[in-house]
A and B are shown apart, each in its own frame.
Chain A
Amino acid sequence: MVIVKRKTLTLAERLYLPEILRGMSITFAKMFKPKVTRQYPEEPLPTNEVTRGQPRLRQLIDGNLACVSCGLCEAACPAYAITIDGQETDRFIEREPEKFEIDMLRCILCGFCEEACPKDAIFMSTELELAGFTRASLKYDIDKLKRTMPELAPRMDYIKRINERW
């Protein structure tokens, strides 16, 4: 059995009032402190290469996608957000995506696609904002997904760096 010894309260403590006044002085003082709220649309969220935003496809210098439509991201995607149809191409890689669709409403930004990709073709960008008037408009196709190398460079370097650890 545990016996808890309670402190005997002094009269001032039993009156509550001094302590209440002390508490009120604290809240009053806080009113004039600087605010910590981020005013979101005006002050955007800070992003860096670790930010895992929406997945984007890497474009090569010649404008083609690095993707060979192998379907590994499609298979890795836990939310079934990715749909790929391949087609033959005359380029060295033989196969390229005919259709590459990510349903951004299903995407959970987990980054499995980036991890699964054997061709470094898909990366998590720093783009986080997603809004549209129809569901169909949030199904992104190749035109909406492709990004040039400089845009994805920080993330590519970061992924390369963390993969070097293994």
Chain B
Amino acid sequence: MTKIIVNGREVEADPQKPLIAACHNHGEHVPHYCYHPGLSAVGSCRICQVEVKQGEMPARVVAACRTPVAEGMVVNTDSEGAHGSRRECLEFLLKNHPLDCPICDKAGECSLQDYSFQEAQAEGRSSEPRRKLEKRKDLGDVILLDQERCILCSRCVRFMEEVPKSPQLCIGGRGSHSVVETWQDTPLSGNYQGNLADVCPVGALTLKDFRFQARVWNLTRVPSTCSECSRGCSISVEVLRNGEVKRMRPRPNEDVNSYWMCDHGRFSEDELNRSDRMEPAALRDDAGQLTAADPVDALRVVRNLLSVQSQALFLASPYLTVEEGEALSKLARSCGTQAAFFSPEPNDLRDDVLHTGDPCPNQRGLQEAGLTPMGSEEWAAASSSADCVLLLGERLLDMLGDEALEALPPTQRLVVMECRASDHAAVDVAMGIPNRVERSGTWVNVDGTAGAIRAARSAPQGVRALVELLADLTTTSGQPEEALSS
């Protein structure tokens, strides 16, 4: 560790990292565009200038992202000289950057906007016209490029080279004709394109999926964990005022995902915004129709089933949290059996960056909670011999498929606690539960790192958490009927 003085404070800095990282680590914010802590530093934007005094030499202004840390450095991030160079740098950047912030989706989280405001650099001296370039350049299914807004920081180019290691972007042209482009306009490919919109400090690279969907200051950000594979990337779920999940973005986490997440996880919000939610409780009536019922009655029916039927099969969804897994195994033990969770086949999305290919985000957590993994064949065998089957947790019906339910023996009773509505003929009792942005809990990822999921919105009216339902079933087993209604 190297000792340097930042703004009059002696701090310890990692000599392997540039000066800007040391400043950031100690709470002194230095503006930056081309520098990104997860990427190599090139020093192309020059906005990160700070004043450094070393030894007897006079103080000079240097780019903090390309300056290595040296013992005894005296750094002033707030000096007049540093601010002056930053202002001049901004004037150059704003020379060609269009002033379409009211239209731009980045507005509100745009570094250029923030630093212009911070440095009070709004007006330039140039009277030349701005560059006229392509405003809506299609870069594949995920990304749209606005070449006028680009400040040529080359973060996107470095990201494609360094993280997914598939260099597809480059800066073509020279001088004022430089633009970010792909080879002969080939569309981008790969599972990590979404990160380009995150690394872009301005609104040049934007997600097609999020284009004009919401103003970023209207979004509520809730830290959570990605559900789409057992990597369990830290994400922030961003919801609009009506509770709609508008986008999911990676949250820096050195232990798991560093600064990135894959497109498979990023664009999984459609499933969360589905409107065909299951009723708080539904029972099959005499006419054979599933009709809405009082949750208390539904719970009573389930409890009676569990006390009457000798062979109950508890199958949980792989999306259950550790807490829900514990509650379920407790209930299964009180019924004299062991609960299982559905362990789906690995998919072909596995790569060397983040995606593990295992769609279950809580494989390890559920096993530690006492649940046994169960594949499709085991499920087919176990379900045909059970008197009563309980399917618990979100997306389980989709994973099993309708054929699996049709294969169940007709005498068998089927209880489903799901998010998505189902009117399958085999279902006897159906209860709605909150999905993964409506409840809080813990998932344990493939490396054994715990990741919290947190409720970003409230569950639909009347829907109770699965832990509560399971706890009610456990505590009221074998008790008189009145205890349930109270």
Q: Which of A34-93 contact B (CB under 8 A)?
A: 68-72, 74-75, 86-88, 93
B135 touches A94 (CB 8 A): yes
Does A93 lie within 8 Å of B103, measured CB to CB? yes
Partner of A74, one of B103, B211, B212, B215: B215
Q: Which residues of B contact A139 (CB under 8 A)?
A: none
Contact A118 B102 (CB under 8 A): yes
Q: How large is the interface on A (under 10, 10 to 19, 20 to 34, 35 or more residues)?
A: 10 to 19
Chain A residues with CB under 8 Å of B102's CB are 68, 70, 72, 118-119
Q: Are B212 and A75 in touch, CB under 8 angstroms?
A: no
- Which residue in A86, A118, A119 is a CB contact (below 8 Å) of B212? A86
B101 close to A70 (CB less than 8 A): yes
Q: Annotate A82-110 by CB proximity to B: 1 below 8 A, 0 otherwise.
A: 00001110000111000000000000000
| Residue B107 interfacial (CB < 8 Å) | yes
Chain A proximity mask over B100-140: 1 for CB below 8 Å, otherwise 0: 11110001000000000000000000000000000110000
Cα(A86)–Cα(B215), bound, Å: 9
Interface size on B, residues (CB 8 A): 14
Give A71's nearest chain B residue, CB to CB. B215
Chain A neighbourhood of B212, CB < 8 A: 69, 86-88, 94-95
* In contact, A75 and B101 (Cβ under 8 angstroms): no
What residues on B are CB-neighbors of A87 within 8 Å? 212
Q: Does B218 contact A (CB under 8 A)?
A: yes
Q: A9 to B136: give the CA distance in the assembly, Å.
A: 91
B217 within 8 A of A: yes
Residues of B with C-beta under 8 A to A88: 211-212
Q: How far is the CB of B134 from chain A (nearest CB, A)?
A: 13
Q: Closest residue to B99 on the A side, CB-wise?
A: A118
Q: Roughly how many angstroms separate A119 CA and B103 CA in the complex, as a whole number?
A: 10
Q: Which residue of chain B lies nearest to A70 when distances are taken between CB atoms in the complex?
A: B102
From known contacts A70-B103, A88-B211, infer whether A75 and B217 are also in contact, taking CB-CB under 8 Å.
Answer: yes
B105 (CB) vs chain A CBs: closest residue: A95
Q: Which residues of A contact B213 (CB under 8 A)?
A: 86
Which residues of A does B touch, CB under 8 Å?
68-72, 74-75, 86-88, 93-95, 118-119
Taking beta carbons and an 8 Å cutoff, which residues of B are in contact with A? 100-103, 107, 135-136, 211-215, 217-218
Jot down 11 A-B pairs with beta carbons below 8 A, ordered by A. Answer: A70-B102, A70-B103, A70-B215, A71-B215, A71-B217, A74-B215, A74-B218, A75-B218, A86-B213, A94-B212, A95-B212
